[in-house]
Amino acid sequence: MNRGPVDSAQVPRFAGPATFARLPRLDEVGRADVAVVGVPFDSGVSYRPGARFGPAAVREASRLLRPYHPGLDVSPFERVQVADAGDIAANPFDIAQAIESIEEAADAIDARLVTIGGDHTIALPLLRSVARRHGPVAVLHFDAHLDTWDTYFGAEYTHGTPFRRAVEEGVVDTEALSHVGIRGPLYGRKDLEEDRRLGFGILTAADVLYRGVREVTDVLRRRVGDRPLYVSIDIDVLDPAHAPGTGTPEAGGLTSRELLEILRGLAGCRIVGADVVEVAPAYDHADITSIAASHVAYDLVSLLALSQTPSDQSREMS
């Protein structure tokens, strides 16, 4: 029998340790099918810092989450064992060493991960780890920005470069890469040309508005097919009205409702890992961003629970 969250009828939601959704720690249950892990690292940002405090803020906001997800008709904490694996310590003064530490720590956790960042630099080591288990993966990347630039100030590893590096390293399936929510000014038309060359399809924030959630979801599902899928969500995919607490906000983004409904449309896909990044609580107002991110993470946990097959569970339990 799986161990779930603390009973809010016995312990008030504002009391007790702030694990994600008040779930048990991984060391308390010994094993997990899905683990939520934090990476408090933001040394790769190009504008406003502060995402190193994102994991703690999202966990705090997640106290109000409840164990049944009506939108997906699943009780994820009953279906599979979900646990909070704590934080991965990453060197804030050495990006290369931090990436190595994140990759090693992800490899060591024998569960499918929902990772809370931290800045988007962390997607690269997480993709390396997932690819080691599943081969090159399909990627759905929700973001205001492409994150496929080559370098910043000559640096190859930043929050604006992880998906170019992932393509170059062969850890992603270039037949099944998609950006969702892209908007705002670019450095030039060449940014889009380079992105297409790398294999990405783009669904802009305007596409979500004019084509609608259902059509966008259908396009994404067709592109992904039955491949193992990694979902990476920069919270700035949301409009600043829905997520002010982030490092590089852009006007004209998705609503939190649109993002959650697109995610729910992925039910049945072979999701093998996910992240939610760039929550910077210092710029948040009334915890709007942290609350949105906690619900996004909950939907990702629920999708991973739905995608877990009996063979997956028996393998991970052995």
pLDDT digits (tens, 9 = 90+) for 113-172: 999 999 999 999 999 999 999 999 999 999 999 999 999 999 999 999 999 999 999 999
Would the annotation count 207 as a binding residue?
no
DSSP state of 161: S
- Integer Cα distance of 177 and 196 in angstroms: 10
Q: Could you tell me if 139 and 176 are in contact, meaning their C-beta atoms sit under 8 angstroms apart?
A: yes
Would the annotation count 145 as a binding residue?
yes
Any bridge partners for residue 23, and if so which? Answer: none
pLDDT digits (tens, 9 = 90+) for 243-267: 999 999 999 999 999 999 999 999 9
Stated pTM of the model: 0.96
Would the annotation count 159 as a binding residue?
no
Average pLDDT, rounded, for the chain? 96
Q: Could you tell me if 272 and 133 are in contact, meaning their C-beta atoms sit under 8 angstroms apart?
A: yes
Would the annotation count 147 as a binding residue?
yes
User: Taking the C-alpha atoms of 307, 309, 314 and 315 in order, what is their torsion angle to the nearest 10 degrees?
Assistant: -60
Would the annotation count 179 as a binding residue?
no
User: Taking the C-alpha atoms of 129, 132, 134 and 140 in order, what is their torsion angle to the nearest 10 degrees?
Assistant: 40
Tell me whether the omega of the peptide bond preceding residue 118 falls within 30 degrees of 0, making it cis. Answer: yes
Class of domain 20-317: alpha beta
Question: What's the Cα-to-Cα distance from 66 to each of 56, 58, 132, 152, rounded to whole Å?
Answer: 19, 15, 33, 41
